[in-house]
Amino acid sequence: MNFQKRKLGNSGLMVNPIGLGCMGMSFSYGEVKSKEEMTPLLHRAVELGVDFFDTAEVYGPYINEELVGEALVPFKGKVAIATKFGFKLKPDGSAGYLGLDSSPKNIKAVAEASLKRLKIEAIDLFYQHRVDPNIPIEEVAGAVADLVKEGKVKYFGLSEAGANTIKRAHAVHPVSALQSEYSLWYRKPEKEIIPLLEELGIGLVPYSPLGKGFLTGAMKADTKFDASDFRSTLPRFQEEAIKKNQQLIEVLQEIAQNNSATPAQISLAWLLAQKPWIVPIPGTTKIHRLEENMSSLQLQLNENEVKRITLAAEAVQVIGERYPEHVERMSGL
């Protein structure tokens, strides 16, 4: 399929309007899926027009990059792959991390290792995964700038960074994209971050654009999450919160019905209508969900519909924090 490409940042990264977040295939969302299961999904994504794939060394760790790298070898040069640095991983390679590490030495080591796992010559977009309070952002941007000069990285990105961090990093080396959570049920970036990105010419890549699955309408108050699914620990996914947050789903279902669409498609279409430099990366492990998400590109919401969805969502008070406090503290937003 051919789509009108979107530009992430002023430095020239052009991708189709919806990318694919690959984390859930190997990390955080319950049982780890096999390469045999996920490779056909990644190939189908390319067939449907996805040319922007998101991974990170910490997803697994390592196995998500290996999956994405191997599956996308046939499409080398036709797709962009984003990955991330910034966590201090366990020496034995087990899941989880020991803290943050955005030291220039670690950034360069991660780049070398990611290039091998991804089977590419240059990382299309290299994000700092979380801001490291122990390393000045100028040093981080400088280390990535060195990698750009060496031809190992094409574009620099930040994730969940605050306004001051974004400005300081951008002054050293152009930031092409900020990856942050943004959706109909998490709109904090609208206040300060989105106006700043517009001013500086930086693209926005919303992760969890479907509210970690909630905005699909598939969850009910009695939905139970496996202990290996990190949503089981999130305040917003506890039984009482899910029950109260159904009000938002009811609004989306009504609007979806009027547009012969699904709540997920309405949520993505609303996000795409906010700015022409927003590229959401919904994740999935199911081909039918992938197809549903990509079909949202055929939805053309008019200005009135966008406004109505916005107002309807504002009228619903979302219950529950998005993360436990210790995780939220790592966000610079």
Q: What is the pLDDT of residues 130-156, one digit of tens each?
A: 999 999 999 999 999 999 999 999 999
Domain annotation covers residue 332: no
The pLDDT score that the predictor gives to residue 221 is: 81
In a domain, 243, yes or no: no
Residue ranges of alpha helices (H) inside 77-217 are 104-118, 137-149, 163-172, 193-200
Position 244 scores a pLDDT of 87
Mean pLDDT estimate for the chain = 95
The number of distinct structural domains making up the chain is 1
The pLDDT tens digits for 157-172 are 999 999 999 999 999 9
**Cis amide leading into 91 (omega within 30):** no
Kindly tell me if the per-residue pLDDT of 90 is higher than 80: yes
Would you say residue 245 has pLDDT above 80? yes
* pLDDT value for 31: 87
| Pairwise CA distance, residues 112 & 261, whole Å | 43
pLDDT, residue 325, reads: 84
Task: Supply the pLDDT for residue 220.
Answer: 86
Within-domain flag for 197? yes
- The counts of H helices and E strands in the chain are 11, 11
Residue 175, pLDDT score: 98
Whether residue 59 lies in the annotated active site: yes
Q: Give a yes or no: residue 98 inside a domain.
A: yes
Specify if 329 maps to a domain.
no
Whether residue 316 lies inside any domain: the answer is no
Outline where 61-136 has alpha helix (H).
Answer: 63-71, 104-118
Instruction: Name the residue range of residue 188's domain.
Output: 6-216+272-299
Q: From CA 71, how far away is CA 305, in angstroms rounded?
A: 38
Catalytic one of 29, 59, 155, 182: 59
26-81 pLDDT per residue, tens: 998 888 999 999 999 999 999 999 999 999 999 999 999 999 999 999 999 999 99
Kindly report the CATH number assigned to the domain that includes residue 91: 3.20.20.100
In a domain, 104, yes or no: yes
Residue 1 has pLDDT above 80, yes or no: no
Residue 290: inside a domain, yes or no?
Answer: yes
pLDDT > 90? residue 266? yes
Name the pTM for this structure: 0.96
